[in-house]
Structure 1
Amino acid sequence: MIDYSRDLLDKFIGVTSVANNGSMIRLYGGDQAWFETENGRAGGCGTVAAANILAYFGVLYGENTAVPDVGLFTENRCFTRELFIAHMHEVYRGLTPMKAPWQSWVRRGGREVHRRTVLRLPDSLGIHSPVRFSNAVIEMAKGKGVQLRVVWPQNTKGRRPANHAVGLDEAKSFILNQINKGMPVAMLNFGNKGLRGVEYQSAATGRRYSTDRFQWHWVVITGVKAQERFGADGDERPFPVVASSWGNRVILDLNQFWGRGLTHLVSFELV
């Protein structure tokens, strides 16, 4: 049995890939850009989050797996890009993003593309239900002989999936408790204005980016940077969480965006 811990979770999972300069790099989880379909590339962040969490718990789908395909394993959780893409595609079958009904999907040059509408509508509706997300993770883990249970945050009314009603302090307590046990926390944001202009550095290109895409996005929280709660002036200091997104390690300050849109948290533990 693996001793899950905060240190183990900080390492999370790695995916080896080739950077733009030709060197080998280790990414921090999968990337939805690797999906073959436009629906997957546009709305597959929840599917990738599920694939990352499953791999962390030793559940790997796909052909020609290089690690045991049933139960827990004690490898260094580092996979080739080809192996992890095969895993992602199988998870996609069990947790497919909802296609936008207004899109017209066509094939061009062997690739699935779509004709855009005149309205500025999203290309995919993604995985917008945390309950559907958690049920899929539980079922896919069970299919490989790993028993997981879902853990929701708790507010004054008890644990509940609709956890955007959870307060900031309750969210912090939930995240810290799960991280300290070595358990990842999936987070979904819906139209969260506090996540505009988030800066991150791409491991593949080395470039720094500023994006608004975290406003509508699934990530997996894998750590919390140590901070004093209050500064000398009495102001509350940042609560920076470490998260996996698009194969990168990103830092998001919970204080900056909590309560500025709908935010869902869900975690998993071994039974």
Structure 2
Amino acid sequence: MRGLTMELSISHPALLAISDEDPSRSFFGGAQEWYSTEWSRRAGCGPTCASNILAYLALTRPALLPLYGYEGMGRADFARHMEDVYPHLTPGSAGLNRVELFSDGVVAYAGERGILLEPHVLALPGRMTWGRPVVSRLAEFIKAGLTSDCPVGFLNLHRGKEKNLQSWHWVTIVGAELGEDKLMVTVSDEGRQIELDLRLWYQTTPMRGALAYFTETSAAAPQLDTGNAKDAKAP
């Protein structure tokens, strides 16, 4: 029926709450400013997003516990986790601007800890690209990720008209409100929980982006969903 919406979320979003030494302050997911070097603080949104996803998988699946090597979710421990993840998703001169760099890095980090993860990736071409997926394809992909109980990494290279979003940036989707004319998402961005109109972004961005989530597998086989797009990879 027209006008109906569906609300989705990972099962335990509170697990991404990070405490601070100052008891009056807390965070929702990691913040790239916690990295130890200037470059990683400037360009570390991709590994920060991956750190959120990996920590959540570890905290919700006993078999995946090695993906997070610390006892609690305090800021100091989570920052150490981010440093552990970083070598596998080290940003280049243009940051982590290709989704393959993100998905391959997450799989490599997990593999080093004896865990096979299967990446699920949807490439999102810019607005003027022939064969671009319809916006409902984004909703279907986000629904699949959240119902599998995995946060969804989201890369955008230009924020379009979505003013709450930084350009050339990764954020972590933890919830969504989906409808025929609606695609609102809840994300972790720089240690904050914010809302984004992903439909507005997709309708107005001139540049590409991507979505990615991960599931456990006994025989990892990466799947790249290009949505029949011509420019699924970075130029």
TM-score normalised to the size of structure 2?
0.75
CA distance in 1, matches of 2:10, 2:172: 16
Asked if 1:72 corresponds to 2:65, the answer is yes
Listed one character per residue, the Cα deviations across residues 67-113 of structure 1 (whole Å, up to 9, x for unaligned) are x9x8438x9x95111111111112112211113xxxxxxxxxxxxxx
Task: Name 2:81's counterpart in structure 1.
Answer: 87
Instruction: Tell me if structure 1 keeps the 8 A contact 2:153–2:213.
Output: yes
CA distance in 2, matches of 1:58, 1:89: 16
CA distance in 2, matches of 1:134, 1:219: 14
Task: Name 2:149's counterpart in structure 1.
Answer: 182
Alignment-mate amino acid for residue 80 of structure 2: A
- Which of 181, 191, 204 aligns to 1:260? It is 204
CA distance in 2, matches of 1:177, 1:96: 27
CA distance in 1, matches of 2:135, 2:179: 16
Asked if 1:138 corresponds to 2:107, the answer is yes
Greater helix proportion: 2
Task: Name 1:32's counterpart in structure 2.
Answer: 32
What is the CA distance between 1:215 and its match in structure 2?
2.0
Task: Name 1:120's counterpart in structure 2.
Answer: none
CA distance in 2, matches of 1:145, 1:242: 31
Alignment-mate amino acid for residue 169 of structure 1: S
Alignment-mate amino acid for residue 189 of structure 2: S
CA distance in 2, matches of 1:48, 1:127: 11
- Aligned to 1:214, the other structure's residue is in SS state coil
What are the equivalent positions in structure 2 for 1:203-218 lying under 5 Å apart?
A: 214-218=166-170
Instruction: Tell me if structure 2 keeps the 8 A contact 1:152–1:266.
Output: yes
Q: Say which structure, 1 or 2, has more relative contact order (CA 8 Å, 6+ apart).
A: 2
- Aligned to 1:177, the other structure's residue is in SS state helix
Task: Name 2:171's counterpart in structure 1.
Answer: 219
TM-score normalised to the size of structure 1?
0.66
CA distance in 1, matches of 2:186, 2:110: 24
- Which of 14, 17, 20 aligns to 1:17? It is 20
Alignment-mate amino acid for residue 264 of structure 1: A
What is the CA distance between 1:39 and its match in structure 2?
1.0
Task: Name 1:105's counterpart in structure 2.
Answer: none
What are the equivalent positions in structure 2 for 1:16-165 lying under 5 Å apart?
A: 16-18=19-21, 22-58=22-58, 71-72=64-65, 79-99=73-93, 125-153=94-122, 162-164=123-125, 165=132
Task: Name 2:3's counterpart in structure 1.
Answer: none
Percent of residue pairs identical: 28
CA distance in 2, matches of 1:7, 1:221: 9
Alignment-mate amino acid for residue 36 of structure 2: E
What is the CA distance between 1:228 and its match in structure 2?
4.9
CA distance in 2, matches of 1:138, 1:183: 14
- RMSD of Structure 2 on Structure 1 (CA): 2.5
Instruction: Tell me if structure 1 keeps the 8 A contact 2:10–2:174.
Output: no
- Aligned to 1:182, the other structure's residue is in SS state coil
Instruction: Tell me if structure 1 keeps the 8 A contact 2:10–2:151.
Output: no
Greater C-alpha radius of gyration? 1
Relative to structure 1, the CA distance from residue 24 to residue 175 in structure 2 (aligned partners, 3 Å threshold; closer, same or farther) is same
Task: Name 2:216's counterpart in structure 1.
Answer: 270
